[in-house]
Amino acid sequence: MMRRVFFLLVMLPITLVQYGQDYAVNKIPSELKRNADAVIRTWETRFDIENREMASYQVKKAITVLNDDGSDWGEFIEAYDKLDKIRRIKIAIYNASGKLVKKVKSGEIEDIGYTSAGSVYDDSRLKAYVPYGIEAPYTVEVEFEKLKKSSLFYPRWNMRRASGISVQHASLVVNAPYSYDIRYRQEDYDGEPQITKQAGVTNYLWQIENLPALKREFRGPGVSLLSPRVILAPKDFSMEGYAGTMDTWKDFGLWIKQLNANRDQLPAALAQEIKDLVEDAPDDLEKIRRIYGYLQSNTRYVSIQLGIGGFQPFEASNVAENGYGDCKALTNFTYSMLKNVGIESFYTLIRAGDNADDIITDFPSSQFNHVILSVPMEKDTVWLECTSQQAPFNFLGGFTSDRHGLMITEEGGVLVKTPEYTAEQNAQLRKIEIDMDAEGNAQAKVLTRYKGRQYDDNYFLASRGKEDQRKFLLNTIDIPAFDLGKFKYEEQKSENPELTEEFDLTLRKYASTTGKRLFFVPNLLSRYSSTPPKDEDRKSAIINRYNYKDIDTVVFKLPEDYRLEFQPDPVDVVSEFGEYKVSYDFDPETNELTYVRYIKVFKGTFPANSYADFRGFWRKVSRSDKSKLVLIGST
């Protein structure tokens, strides 16, 4: 009897609150239009859980697009696959006065096969409708339902997901059987959910009203992280017959271990080849290096997203036969090759992405989108990115460094931290020689070494053709008038990789002339030309994502019979955000001036009330970077 009542609750439709039926733009409160490109008039989400494998997800929303910048919010795009089926899509469009102008027919909703770049196996599809030829403001009302055949992913509720969106009303309802435990985490949500119980079902309700739009602040977190949000996760779950629990990281790791079981067998011929490859290696580190080199030379990355294939790697033998795999398959293949020669390694889940936010470490749940391999050694851990044919050995770069991952051991999941690179490791070291003449023209030779994260930002240049390299330099050198001469790039792949960049410049009228005087900016290539915007009502924290250090040493060969008109004072600025120093050294015997610029930026999250100091630091840097020197001739 209880089960029948639950199903009746599941099938009840969502009903919009009464005021949401009037979509006239003039009914939107003025404070919700401020800074807004679109307004969520109502967004009601309902999640009905039947058991650890079946659930339904229903949405009814109405969004008013105020201008062309908000047009993306008027689009309907929803992904699905064999584990998530979409049904009952209804779309209607209303004009500025709230009058219905169009009911979208089912044939107008596109069904698109979605295959990501590099993918060969992907069953993801999209249902999509994009309004065309409709003048803003207008309102799009959408209703749809998804049937979910896996409980691994629960919805995340966050209405203000980007700049320029305000929320008039939104709610999240979750229905679950008494016997089924759900877990939730609230962020920036006032109060607790309303929880009621009836007829064998626990009902949870969260709702928000009149949430104004925000603009992302300079060096601040994304707007979605400044908004009320709820993260849901199961305790017990199942996907295609693989059952697990998720109340601890250890338990979630045991589920991943179950997926990976017995998928590490290599073909006999390859097993012997790998043993022969490392037979004369002097130590385990060299063995790992050789096996990683074999992986990069003999495999390539493709995306595979087929049901449980989104979590379960293909067998190592499959990668050996085909020469390709996704992050899971290639990591498992590398794990299998190392195991074959007696080296223990660990499949490690990670949230990848340049400057991606770290996972929530105290809320075990599926927060990962990538897999890497960790190989603990006696003194340190070797980290391997198995999807790249170019990545240096034991170097993660900005894609996966300095964040938590879930290492899958025999005992289950263990949270680990990937390396954080120091400012000395993330360095840009530049040496410039400039030969000036009395007319203000100059010849410059530039040598720059990029290391760590700064190597990671530029390493691609080494593999580009000469014409692409030339275009890059012409587009990025910020000097008014110059001719590019010889140039070259060299890459040193190692655990501390470097990219070396060399080029020659002819600088036309580098220095301006007035009588016997030459005026020039000694900072040739590293000027910080803009300053943080004013923000007297700063709301969010200031974020420096990583440490780095730049040192520019510029040696000027001054024109004959010219000298510095006055000796500039050194600059020394120290703050919680970083250090900045400039020094000048003139050698009268060689008639050379050496300008050294040093800046070191500290990683950190700083409170909003320190923004004036933050802005002040960078204003001093900018002012110094643009400062001019004066040479005066003796004749």
> How many separate helices (H) and strands (E) can be counted in the chain?
11, 39
Instruction: Give yes or no: residues 308 and 215 share one domain.
Output: no
pLDDT tens by residue, 249-280? 999 999 999 999 999 999 999 999 999 999 99
CB 341 within 8 Å of CB 277 = no
Structure tokens at 38: 């679109």
Predicted local distance difference test score (pLDDT) of residue 123: 64
The strand order across the sheet containing 182-187 reads: 156-158, 229-234, 182-187
pLDDT at 18 over 50: no
Rounded Cα distance, 630 and 565, in Å = 6
pLDDT at 393 over 70: yes
- Rounded to a whole number of angstroms, the distance between the first and last alpha carbons of the chain is 106
Sequence-distant (6+) residues with CB within 8 A of 467 are none
**Which residue is listed with tokens 């690179």?**
421
Instruction: Give yes or no: residues 259 and 119 share one domain.
Output: no
Strand pairing class (138-148; 55-65): antiparallel
Domain boundary among 237, 265, 282: 237
Predicted local distance difference test score (pLDDT) of residue 161: 86
286-321: b (≥16 Cβ within 10 Å) or e? ebbbbbbebbbeebebbbbbeeebbbbbbbbbebbe
CA angle 280, 286, 289 (to 5 degrees): 125
Q: What is the CATH number of the domain that holds 569?
A: 2.60.120.1130
Domain boundary among 237, 272, 303: 237
Q: What is the CATH number of the domain that holds 407?
A: 3.10.620.30
pLDDT at 7 over 50: no
Closest alpha carbon to 168 in 66, 58, 19: 19
Closest alpha carbon to 209 in 250, 168, 153: 168
Rounded Cα distance, 315 and 122, in Å = 17
Domain boundary among 362, 397, 417: 417
Instruction: Give yes or no: residues 392 and 432 share one domain.
Output: no
Amino acid symbol at 168: Q
Instruction: Give yes or no: residues 412 and 431 share one domain.
Output: no
Amino acid symbol at 569: D
pLDDT tens by residue, 436-464? 999 999 999 999 999 999 999 999 999 99
Coil vs helix vs strand at 445: strand
Mean per-residue pLDDT, 396-424: 96
Indicate whether 181 belongs to any domain: yes
pLDDT at 573 over 80: yes
Indicate whether 242 belongs to any domain: no
Mean per-residue pLDDT, 384-402: 95
Kindly write down the DSSP assignment for every residue of 558-591, as one continuous string: PPTTEEESS-PPPEEEE-SSEEEEEEEEEETTTT
Q: Tell me how far CA of residue 110 lies from CA of 75, 92, 141, in angstroms.
A: 12, 15, 17
Rounded Cα distance, 267 and 321, in Å = 9
**Residue 465 C-alpha from the chain's centroid:** 28
Indicate whether 243 belongs to any domain: no
Work out the mean pLDDT of the chain and round it to a whole number.
91
Q: What is the CATH number of the domain that holds 208?
A: 2.60.40.3140
Backbone angles phi, psi at 151, to 5 degrees: -105, 15
Q: Longest Cα pair distance anywhere in the chain, in angstroms?
A: 106
pLDDT at 154 over 50: yes
Predicted local distance difference test score (pLDDT) of residue 1: 34
pLDDT at 539 over 70: yes
How many domains is the chain built from? 3
Instruction: Give yes or no: residues 227 and 297 share one domain.
Output: no
Instruction: Give yes or no: residues 451 and 385 share one domain.
Output: no
Angle between helices 327-340 and 284-298 (to 10 degrees): 140
Indicate whether 614 belongs to any domain: yes
Lowest-pLDDT choice from 117-126, 207-216, 400-409, 469-478: 117-126
Mean per-residue pLDDT, 573-584: 97
Instruction: Give yes or no: residues 406 and 460 share one domain.
Output: no
Sequence-distant (6+) residues with CB within 8 A of 245 are 235, 236, 237, 251, 252, 255
Structure tokens at 545: 């994502």
Q: What is the CA radius of gyration of the chain?
A: 30
Q: How many CA atoms lie within 13 A of 531 on its CB side?
A: 18
Indicate whether 422 belongs to any domain: no
User: In DSSP terms, which residues pair with 40 in a beta bridge?
Assistant: 63, 167
**Which residue is listed with tokens 């295609």?**
240
Instruction: Give yes or no: residues 312 and 259 share one domain.
Output: yes
Rounded Cα distance, 572 and 551, in Å = 14
Rounded Cα distance, 306 and 318, in Å = 16
Kindly write down the DSSP assignment for every residue of 249-308, as one continuous string: HHHHHHHHHHHHTT--PPPHHHHHHHHHHHTT-SSHHHHHHHHHHHHHHH-EE-EEESGG
Instruction: Give yes or no: residues 212 and 307 share one domain.
Output: no
Residue 17: pLDDT band (50, 70, 90) is very low
Rounded Cα distance, 291 and 337, in Å = 7
Structure tokens at 92: 């209607």
Helix (H) or strand (E) holding 205: strand 201-211
Q: Residue 395 class from Cβ within 10 Å (0-12 exposed, 13-18 middle, 19+ buried)?
A: buried
**Which residue is listed with tokens 């799009």?**
140
CB 69 within 8 Å of CB 37 = yes
Rounded Cα distance, 155 and 57, in Å = 8
pLDDT at 494 over 90: no
Instruction: Give yes or no: residues 107 and 13 share one domain.
Output: yes
CA dihedral 364, 355, 385, 379 (to 10 degrees): -80
Residue 311: pLDDT band (50, 70, 90) is confident
pLDDT tens by residue, 156-189? 999 888 999 999 999 999 999 988 888 999 999 9
Predicted local distance difference test score (pLDDT) of residue 153: 81
pTM score: 0.89
- For residue 629, the tally of other CB atoms under 10 A from its CB is 19
Q: How many CA atoms lie within 13 A of 331 on its CB side?
A: 24
Rounded Cα distance, 282 and 262, in Å = 30
Lowest-pLDDT choice from 8-12, 115-119, 502-506, 570-574: 8-12
pLDDT tens by residue, 83-122? 888 988 999 999 999 999 999 999 999 988 765 444 445 5
Instruction: Give yes or no: residues 398 and 460 share one domain.
Output: no
CB 128 within 8 Å of CB 143 = no
Predicted local distance difference test score (pLDDT) of residue 305: 62
pLDDT at 44 over 70: yes
**Structural domain of 138:** 2-237
Instruction: Give yes or no: residues 255 and 203 share one domain.
Output: no
CB 539 within 8 Å of CB 625 = no
pLDDT tens by residue, 194-232? 999 998 999 999 999 999 999 999 999 999 999 999 999
